[in-house]
Structures are given as C-alpha cells and as structure tokens.
Amino acid sequence: MKLFAFMKKLLLSAGTLLLNFTVFAQVKSQWVYLNDANKLEYKTTERGDRIMDFSYAGYREGGVAIPTVPVKVSISPTAGDNSNAIQQAIDQVSGMPMVNGVRGAVLLQAGTYNCERPITISTSGVVLQGSGSGESGSIINMTGNPHACIVIKGNVTTNATNTKTTIADPYVPSGAISFQLRHVKEFAAGDTIRIARPVTDAWVHLMGMDKLVRDGKKQTWVTGEITTERVIKKINKNTVTVNFPLTDSYDEQYLGKDGVSVTKITTSGIIVETGVENLRIVAPAQSVTINDGLYRALNMSGVTDGWMRKIEILNTTNSISITANRVTVDHVNIVHTVPTKGSAKPADLNGSGAQLLFNQCNITGDNLFYFATGAKVSGPVVLLNCTFRGKGWIQPHQRWATGLLVDNCQVPDGGIDFMNRCAMGSGHGWAIGWAVAWNCSAQSYLNQLPPGAANWVIGCKGEPQKKAIPFDAEPLLPEGIYDAHNTPVDPSSLYLAQLTERLGKAAVQHVGY
C-alpha cells in the first residue's frame, strides 16, 4: 500500500509538472509552430531550407512499439567466465527459424554473470533479455582485459547497380522529401538509392576548411563524397519522393560538373529485429584516457530495426556506439564513479547511424561528451527527454554531421554545442549543420552558423556563448539562430508533435508517451 501511495504521488507530481510546462509554453517559435488548424507550419530560409521532420527517427521509422520477443532459451549464472554459456545460448536461438519476424530471446535469469569476452549477436530476430536492470536483476560483470560487452553486428555488403543518374534541381533545400532527377526511366518505387554529394574544393573553401592547420601541419577536413540512402516511395514525371526527408542541402554551384549522383543499390547481410533489454552491465572503475584499453558496453552496426532498452550501465567508457539504422535506445542509464583523464574526451553515446532515437536516457559523469557523432553522419538523430549530469557536453564531434534534434534535454552543469571544432582532433572542422535544440535547459550553448547552412536553438534556457574557432581569441564566429531564448515554446516536444501529425496519437503512445 505504501508503494502504491508513493507511485500515485509520483505520477501526480509528474502530471503537475507537465501541466505547468504546458501552461507556460504558449510562445510560438517562428520556425515551427501550430497554426489555427492545429497543424505544424514551418518557416523556411530564403532558399527553402526548413527544420526537417525528425519523426522518422527510431525503430521501424518511429511510432512503432518495440515488440516483446518470446523466450526460447533461459540460462542461469555459473562460477567463472560465463561468456561461452551466453554465446552458446545465442547461437542456439540463432539457428531457429524466423516466426513472425523473430527467432526468439535468450533470457538471463537473475544473478551475476562474469564475462571475460564480448557476447555477439550476428543473426536477425535474436534478442538478449535480462530479468531486471537493478542490483537484484541480471548483471553482466565485465572481467578480464578491456573489451566490448555486447556486440550486435551484421556483415553488410552493398552493391551499386548500373541504374544511375544525377539530381536535376539547381538547389535542393535541407528538409526536402522530394527532388527531381535527370533520368527516372530505370528507377521504380521501392528502389533503395544512394545519394552521393561530392566533396569539392569549392565547397571546402566555402566552409573555410581549406585553412586548417595544427602544430604547423595542414589538417584535412572531409574528402571523397558524403552519402546517404533513401527508398523511393513515389515517382511523378521526373520528381521522386523518398521515405524520409533529406538532412542536408545540395547547391549545384559547389558540387562540381558531375553534381549529386543517385544510384540504385542492393544490400545484403543486414540483420533486423534484434536488441538487448532489461539488464545491467558493470565494468571496473578506471580513470583512464581514451587511448587506453576501454571497457565498452554496447556496439551495434549493420542493423536495421533494432533496440536497446531498460539497461543500467556502470563505469564503461565510450559506452554505446551505433552505426546502424532505425534504432531506438530507450531508458538507458549510464553512471561513472570516476572521470576519464586527459583533454581528449570519450563519447558515451555515439550516434553515427541514420534514424536513431535516444529516448529518456540518463548519464552521470564528468569530462566526457554525453553524445557525439562521427564523420559524415546524415541522421536524423533525436535525443528526447534525456538528462545528463556532470561536467560534459552534447557535442556533435567531427566532419559534417547533419540532422540532429536535441528535444527537451537537460544538461544542468554542461553544454550543448553546435560548433566549428576547426583543427581540434585531427581537423574535425565544422561538426554539425541543420541541428536543432528545442525546449532544452543547459548551463551554456555554443550555437554557431556554418556557411550555407543553419543551426537552431529554440525555446531553450541557458547562457549563449560567442567564441572564435578553437585556439584563437578572435574573430568571433557568427551565431546560429536563437529563437524565443529562455522562454519555452509550443509544442512542448517537436519530435512528439511531428510524430502525432504524421502517424496519429497512437504512435506517440507506442513510444511511451
């Protein structure tokens, strides 16, 4: 009865907080707002760029509930190293037939599983489940030399076909979901296409990235091409509509004579419908640099439609890395009892895939990036209702990522940075474009304006900073767009409002709201 009363009080308090926020969040952003018909309207730049529809982020393109997968094999902890026993159970389920899109789950009964080696899932439809993420639940205790605890990995092969053309529009704005091709004859709805933007000298010069020097040595920002993949949903004459919006713009004056290529591709080896849930991962407390051996929690690559949920993680470094597509990370909590050392900081959440949703995740620790991206990440990536405590930052990290939404996140002792990292690292340069912080609260913001692009901080609370490129005192870089600063805006959550408009209220319930 006492527990029931406590939970009732907690729910009432949460409801009051939500009500209070809704009452005061009546200011409208000029960039996205609900019109008189209760539909979202978007302001565009002079060239048509807009804040994109981020609602496609997450498992099965957002708005779909993560399934409950039936248990096929159950094991209990034993003395010594449990790595082989868990791996054998996973391999056993991996050999089972797919039924309703899944093979089954391996259940770890409550207890502590000492593990010296990584546990690997490399087959579709296999899930690793625990019996709870608390201290009395299922605990994977990382022992032995530093390693990754759980690795979910497909063996992906991508082949380009001979069906190829280029984009015909002189300018395709960021946030667009359709564009014109020069030739469409051999393309069809359902085709997967690779859109490849060449990295030209003209564009690198526009971005000011041809002058990167560190310790007297020239640094290279981005080379080759920047690619992103879409599925064609519809073709009307020469206009194709794709399955989710573009996160970057394409301007023909910076693309060279060949422009942006569009190629039909085929892919094999991706694993689907897989995840890890309801367990606890514990590593030894180590105050180390990122160049030392590291205990890492979860790596996911070569996956489409995966998840990590209800996981407690203690003392791993570079904890979660995702280079996969359509993944939801839900209610994952990471705690560090000691900080890392050195000026080069680890990234607890590395969101370097496409259509990623980090929902209600919490991190406590110092001297780290709570969230970062790798190079050429095309997103979209959403951080929703996350709380990060300690001296750390949400900071896209290097070499032109695009399409990030930080929605209702709290960083009370740290910062949210959309910035030019210039010669930091190995020439990280402009780290992010077309990023949005929406109704967040942080100690500070460094919101800078990339040439030919935009970053937005809207309805957020905290101190805006103005800085030059790292290692310089001046000139100060142009600021990104601030709108309704220190005043929350309506809708209270951009992601949930966009999801509601695209798929209806049931979709919001499916993701836990």
> Taking Cα atoms as reference points, which of 437, 329, 359 lies closest to residue 393?
437
Return the C-alpha torsion angle 483, 485, 488, 489, nearest 10: -10
Contact 401, 376 (CB under 8 A): yes
Along the chain (513 residues), what's the average pLDDT of each consecutive run of 10 residues?
39 41 67 96 98 98 98 98 98 97 98 98 98 98 98 97 97 98 97 98 96 88 97 98 98 94 98 98 91 94 98 97 98 95 91 98 96 96 98 94 98 97 91 98 98 98 94 91 97 98 98 96
Three-state secondary structure readout of 430-453 = ECEEEEEEECCEEEEEEEECCCCC
DSSP 8-state symbol, 99: B
Q: In the prediction, which pLDDT does 18 show?
A: 43
CA gap 151, 300 in Å, rounded: 6
Burial of 505 (0-12, 13-18, 19+ CB in 10 A): exposed
pLDDT of 148 reads 98
Q: What is the pLDDT of residue 22?
A: 40
Q: Residue 107 and residue 279: Cα distance in Å, rounded?
A: 10
CB 346 within 8 Å of CB 498: no
pLDDT of 215: 84
CB-CB contact of 416 with 437 (8 Å): yes
3-state helix, strand, coil in the chain (%, to 5): 15, 45, 45
> Which DSSP string corresponds to 220-248?
----SEEEEEEEEEEEETTEEEESS--SS
Cis bond before residue 284 (omega within 30° of 0): no
Q: Give the tens place of pLDDT for each residue, 282-293.
A: 999 988 888 888
CA distance 349 to 22: 29
Cβ neighbour number for residue 397 with a 10 Å cutoff? 25
**pTM for this predicted structure:** 0.94
Number of H-type helices and E-type strands within the chain: 5, 38
